[in-house]
Chain A
Amino acid sequence: SAVISQKPSRDICQRGTSLTIQCQVDSQVTMMFWYRQQPGQSLTLIATANQGSEATYESGFVIDKFPISRPNLTFSTLTVSNMSPEDSSIYLCSVEKGGQGEGYNEQFFGPGTRLTVL
């Protein structure tokens, strides 16, 4: 399994500012993922972050808006830039680790960061 922590757990920010969310894992992992969960909705993948390479962004998400760092195998940050009220969401970090048998990798999720933009 993997124990994941995120900082901050919640924040209230002003329009036009930026917030950096940290994700720390208790063991080394190759793949880390950042998801967004808008109020009352499902999870949408923002990007995949592999250590030593540029993050891969999903359609509708761009690096200028959501820059990601992955300096080592246990840590990643997601920045939400130039925020607007539409960015109010829960942002979740997820990691992939080997599971039971057959080369299966399970995804584990952090507790999330609840962001409110005024």
Chain B
Amino acid sequence: AQTVTQSQPEMSVQEAETVTLSCTYDTSESDYYLFWYKQPPSRQMILVIRQEAYKQQNATENRFSVNFQKAAKSFSLKISDSQLGDAAMYFCAYRSYDGGATNKLIFGTGTLLAVQP
């Protein structure tokens, strides 16, 4: 079974600085998706960024980028020029490429990011 581990329960960053959130996962599959989701205090979960395992190029979305190391099964999220609105719980998630019976997401335990003004 696949597992996702986030070893940083809480992180803090100064506004305008850069922060990296860590995520490791375990799987025997070769094709899969990895995601970072953001859950602000309002609770609405939104997708931040997605990475397909077969792509070597790291995904980037504006100030958000990932460092995907497939051999090491590592998938970290870098937030550049941090803003107050980035404060939230961040979840790393895994999903099988094929999906099988359910295309379920397997979530890590989350990292609570605080942004200091």
Residues of chain A whose beta carbon lies under 8 Å from any beta carbon of chain B: 31, 33, 41-45, 48, 56, 58, 90, 92, 96, 102, 104-112, 114
Contact = CB atoms under 8 A, between A and B. Distances in A.
A42 B45 contact: no
Nearest to A33: B104
Contacts of A31: 102-103
Interface string B36-49: 01000011111100
Given A41-B109, A43-B91, A105 B43 contact: no
Contacts, number: 49
Nearest to B33: A104
B105 interface: yes
Q: Most chain-A Cβ atoms within 10 A of its Cβ — which of B46, B108, B110?
A: B110
A48 B107 contact: no
B71 interface: no
A42 B47 contact: no
Nearest to B110: A42
Q: Is the interface of B mostly helix, strand, loop or mixed?
A: loop
B72 interface: no
Given A56-B101, A109-B37, A109-B45, 17 more contacts: A33-B102, A42-B109, A43-B91, A45-B104, A45-B105, A48-B102, A56-B102, A102-B52, A104-B33, A104-B50, A104-B52, A108-B47, A110-B44, A111-B42, A111-B43, A112-B44, A114-B43
Given A41-B109, A42-B107, A42-B108, A106 B47 contact: yes
Interface of B: 33, 37, 42-47, 50, 52, 91, 101-105, 107-110
B109 A109 contact: no
A43 B105 contact: yes
Contacts of B104: 33, 45, 48, 58
A40 to B, nearest CB: 9
A59 to B, nearest CB: 10
Contacts of A109: 37, 44-46
9 contacts: A42-B109, A48-B101, A56-B102, A58-B104, A90-B43, A105-B103, A109-B44, A109-B46, A111-B42
A76 B101 CA distance: 19
